[in-house]
Structure 1
Amino acid sequence: MERLAGRIMLLWGFPRAAIAILAGAIGALALPPFGFFATLFISFTLLVWLLDGITSDPDSGWFGRFRSAFWIGWLFGFGYFVAGLWWLGNALLVEADEFAWALPLAVLGLPAYLAIFYGLSAAVARLFWSDGMGRLAALAFSFGIGEWLRGFVATGFPWNAIGYGAMPVPLMMQSAAMIGISGVTVLAVFVFSAPALLGTKKGMRVGLSLALLLFAAHVGYGAWRLNGADTALAQIPGEETTVRIVQPLIDQARKLDDAERTAIFEEHLSLSAQPPNEGGKRPDMIVWPETSVPFILTQNPDALARIADVLEDGQVLVTGAVRSEEAGPGMAPRFYNSIYVIDSQGQIVSASDKVHLVPFGEYVPYEDLLRNLGIPEAIAMPGGFSAAPSQTMLTLPSGQSFYPLICYEAIFADEIGEQIEGTSALLNVTNDGWFGATPGPYQHFQQARVRSVENGRFMIRGANTGISALIDPFGRTMIGLAFDQKGVIDATWRGGSVAHSDSFSRQNNFWFLVGAAFLIAAISRMGFNFGEN
């Protein structure tokens, strides 16, 4: 290992850049649908050795080392994000004649932007670099802060945070209930970087022992928590509810075809009206995915009447739909990506609008500036939605309430606030049909499962092309429909929460871990080597 580490450190030019990109790309194999979390040990070990190699230029000064470290971190991030997010380009191919020009922006441009956060993380870590375990702690706290910033800077895009690589199965998701995805990321970077100590020896005994202890605690806590999961679920008070989740499998090209609207609507109704399996309970609520209703419901009373015809007394339909709102005299109406609750009389009894819109998918950032710069192609991209000022809980006639997460709102862990207290479950409706048979829907599903663990609640998840499921508060799929499968699933559950830390506590725990890693890195930088051999 020492010989290999030495060779990596001494690389320069193109081979050095290629190894950095490759290291990041290998790490993406830890993400769904692969879930090979061990690949991150290779990725971060290589990253540490590449950053070690920056010391080979003693005349570079601190700014030179900062710049060199940024470059290595950026290349690492670029490889990671291209390999993990290439599937975003598939959305632009649905209407390729109009938007194929933007394919390089999605496949290469977005990764290039996201890689800046990893570049800055590596550069900051390099300022606190030292021999031994200290440099692993430096990387851990800097990547933790970098991923945290990625969650809200420029509206945020925290997709595929490093911590998800350490949570491929429910056994390894339970730590999120205590420290959240941000806290898991801090510890994961430290653990995944630990094999680098085998190549340099300094601090190896203490560093590897601590990494092993952290990994054992991560898995052991998961095993302990899952061992009591069924008991915890049985103790949730309240009445049972039966939900039917409809997965219609409507091709995205059909959804964009005006001539198909009525047929699509009737397909949803037909699936909703299917009788329950033998011995099964009649659903109390039926859930359709995001934007399932292919027209403005409030302008189509016949559609509401058809829904009333299908629903039995006491049943409700929860569906994604587009909502319109008059903006004022002489002004164009506003449109919202929404969820409606419709009762058996065909009345809309509750609604919630999406708060966190997808840039260039649901709205165009800096639209006026782009227009002034003469970039009409960007203005013509899909969009046209307005954002709600705040999250509104969905309330059913039964008194149950749900925390709505429309599409990728499910990836923003820190945006699920105090309103979740008292809700029966998380409700995530999405249309991942834009991305076809790619890793995208699987990655989205995993992140939704982690939100259930963090918040100690069931999640009802309806996705047009999959993956639809009822997820329990421990991230386990109670029942689901696989990707690219048409049908319905009925599941009975009891709304409420199991023991977990609240959002404020998870944030405090995250900053405690960042502070602890920073302290280790700073002490090491001042010359104290933990367990140097």
Structure 2
Amino acid sequence: MERLAGRVILLWGWRRALAALCAGAFAALAQPPVDFFAACFVSFPVLVWLIDGAASQPGERLARRMLRPFAIGWWFGFGYFLAGLWWTGAALLVEAELFAWALPLAVLGLPALLALFYGLAVFLARLLWSDGAGRIAALAAGFAVAEWLRGFVLTGFPWNAIGQAAMPVPLMMQSASAVSMPGINALAVFIFAAPALLVSARGRVPAFAVAALAVALHLGYGAWRLNGADAAPETLLEVRIVQPSISQAEKWDAAVRERIFATLLELSARPPREGAAAPDLIVWPETAIPFVLSDRPEALVALAELVGEGQTLFAGSVRVEGERADARYYNAIVAIGDDGEIVDAADKIWLVPFGEFMPLADLLSRIGVEKLVRSVSAFTAGSHRPLLATPAGPTALPFICYEIIFPGMAGYGDTEADFILNVTNDAWFGNTPGPYQHFRQAQIRAVEAGRPLVRAGNNGISAVVDAYGRIVDAFALDAVGALDVAVPRQRLTAPGRPDLAGIGILAVLVLWAGVGFHAAGRRGLTGIY
């Protein structure tokens, strides 16, 4: 291994960039649907050795000394996001005649932009770089900060956070309820990068001990939490999830709207499975209703006939306020009672840039840049996230589409809601890794919140997930049907303050890196400077 590390350290120029690119791309195998988390035990040691080789030269300008580690991180990130997010380009091929020109923007531009955060991660790590175990702590802290920034800068896109690689199964998801995703990101990078110390004697024993302890606590806490789960929890409510698998090419086609609506009604009206009670709640996916519901009173009549006494329908729909030029459109979930009346609604707050709204719309429209996907109109963001109630009593905390990917969004066992509701339409991306990655992040939110999750996707993955991240029942991708599931009654609390625990882990890593940097300085070695 020393020979391999030496060769990696001595790489220069395009060879170093290529090695970083390949290491990042290999790390993407740790994400769904592959879930080969062992890939990170290769990728991150290579990244450490590449940073080791980014030593400054005597008399070198400060800007160049700063750029070298940033470039290593950027190439690593570009490979990671290119291999993990290539499927985003599929959305532009739904109407290829209009949007195929923008394919490079999605397939190459998005990874290039997100790679800036990993460039920052390596740059920050290099500021406290040393020749011992402290540099692993510095790298873990740098990635934790970068992943945190990725959650809100430029509206935020924390998709495929490194920490998710350490949570492929429910046993390994439970730590998210204890130390939050920032803490998981930091610990995951520290553990994944630890094998790099096999070729460094300085401080590797305590580092390996800490890494082994972190793994043991991660698995032990998961086993302890799952062991304490009720084997037969009470039923919160019976839910029917409708998965119509409508082709995205037909989604807004006026010629087939009636057929789409009829399909939704037919699936929803099917008798319950043998021996099961009628559902308390029916859930339709994001923008399932293929027209503006307020413009179609006959549709409300049909819904009144569908929704039985004491039932509720939560349906993804476009909601409109105002008229004509002053009209505002919202991507919403509407609650429809047994009389066919809209009794409540929740609007999407986190909108997708270039998909649901245009950032810098006035400026970009002057140069001919428009929304990259077609829908009824540009959407307006909602102002708050209300709880949606059901006549049976339980309340839902609603999230539309990718709102569910933001860590801590549903709280840490302190939400007043009885369950989490997620409606989505991943048909844009076909049978690619995208829907599987999206579903994994929804599972983790259920664990964080300590509440069961009810998820309806147009083409999947629709499911009920319990508060431990375990799938109660689910439809496969592209299946068509109505899934009847009993949602478990579970209200789990977090042990302490997970957000503060994550900050504490970051602080310890920074302190460890600082001590290592100071010791290296005393030996005549320095970090980036």
TM-score, structure 2 as length reference? 0.95
Q: What does 1:77-476 correspond to in 2, within 5 Å?
A: 77-230=77-230, 234=233, 240-326=236-322, 331-371=325-365, 374-378=366-370, 382=374, 384-416=378-410, 421-476=415-470
User: Residues 423 and 457 of structure 2 are in contact (CA less than 8 Å); yes or no, is this contact kept in structure 1?
Assistant: yes
* Deviation of the 1:419 alpha carbon: 11
Superposition deviation, residue 224 in structure 1: 1.2
Q: Give the deviation of 1:58 after TM superposition.
A: 4.5
Q: Is the 8 A contact 1:141 1:514 kept in 2?
A: yes
Query: How far is 1:63 from its partner?
Result: 4.3
> Contact 2:28 / 2:80 at 8 angstroms: preserved in 1?
yes
Cα distance between partner residues in 2 of 1:229 and 1:360: 43
The amino acid across from 1:256 in the alignment is W
In structure 2, relative to structure 1, the CA distance for the partners of 1:512 and 1:198 (3 Å cut) is same
SS in 2 for 1:229: coil
How many angstroms does 1:507 deviate by? 1.8
Q: Could you report, residue by residue, the CA deviation over 1:433-457 in whole angstroms, capped at 9, with x for unpaired residues?
A: 0000100000000000000000100
Instruction: Return the alpha-carbon distance in structure 1 between the equivalents of residues 436 and 4 of structure 2.
Output: 35
Contact preservation (8 Å) 1:350, 1:396: no
- Secondary structure of the corresponding residue to residue 187 of structure 2: helix
Note if contact 1:295-1:322 (Cα within 8 Å) is conserved in structure 2: yes
1:517 maps to 2:513: no
What's 1:68 paired with? 68
C-alpha deviation, 1:51, in angstroms: 0.1
- CA-to-aligned-CA distance 1:240-273 (integer Å, 9 cap, x gap): 3100111111111111211110100110111111
Shift of 1:498: 1.3
In structure 2, the residue corresponding to 1:163 is in which secondary structure? helix
Secondary structure of 1:331's aligned partner? helix
Q: Work out the CA distance in 2 between the residues paired with 1:284 and 1:170.
A: 28
Please give the alpha-carbon distance, in whole angstroms, between the structure 2 residues aligned to 1:129 and 1:150. 23
Q: CA deviation at 1:61?
A: 6.0
Unaligned runs of 5+ in 2: 522-529
Other-structure match for 2:473: 479
Matches of 1:352 and 1:217 in 2, distance apart? 39
Going from structure 1 to structure 2, the CA distance change for 1:427 and 1:295 (only over 3 Å counts) comes to same
Identity %: 51
Does the CA-based 8 Å contact 2:412-2:448 persist in structure 1? no
Secondary structure of the structure 2 residue equivalent to 1:317: strand
Contact 2:400 2:422 in 1 (8 A): yes
1:194-221 C-alpha deviation (Å, 9 max, x unpaired):
0000123322222122112211211111
Alpha-carbon separation, structure 1, partners of 2:53 and 2:493: 46
Amino acid at match of 2:439: F
Any conservation in 1 of the 2:412–2:449 contact (CA below 8 Å)? Answer: no
Amino acid at match of 1:288: W
Q: Which residue type is aligned with residue 519 of structure 2?
A: G
The size of the alignment, in residue pairs, is: 519
After superposition, the C-alpha distances for 1:103-146 in whole angstroms (9 at most, x for unaligned) are 10100101101000000110110010001110000011111011
Listed as ranges, the gaps of 5+ residues in structure 1 are none
Instruction: Tell me if structure 2 keeps the 8 A contact 1:140–1:517.
Output: yes
Task: Describe the superposition over 1:479-517 as per-residue Cα deviations: whole angstroms up to 9, x where unpaired.
Answer: 000111111211112444113258xx2221111111110
Amino acid of the structure 2 residue aligned with 1:460: V
Query: Partners of 1:380 and 1:131 in 2: how far apart?
Result: 47
C-alpha contact 1:62 1:127 (8 A) present in aligned 2: no
> Runs (4+) of structure 1 moved beyond 4 Å?
417-420
For the residue of structure 1 that corresponds to 2:420, the secondary structure is strand
Whether the 8 Å contact between 2:311 and 2:391 is mirrored in structure 1 is: no
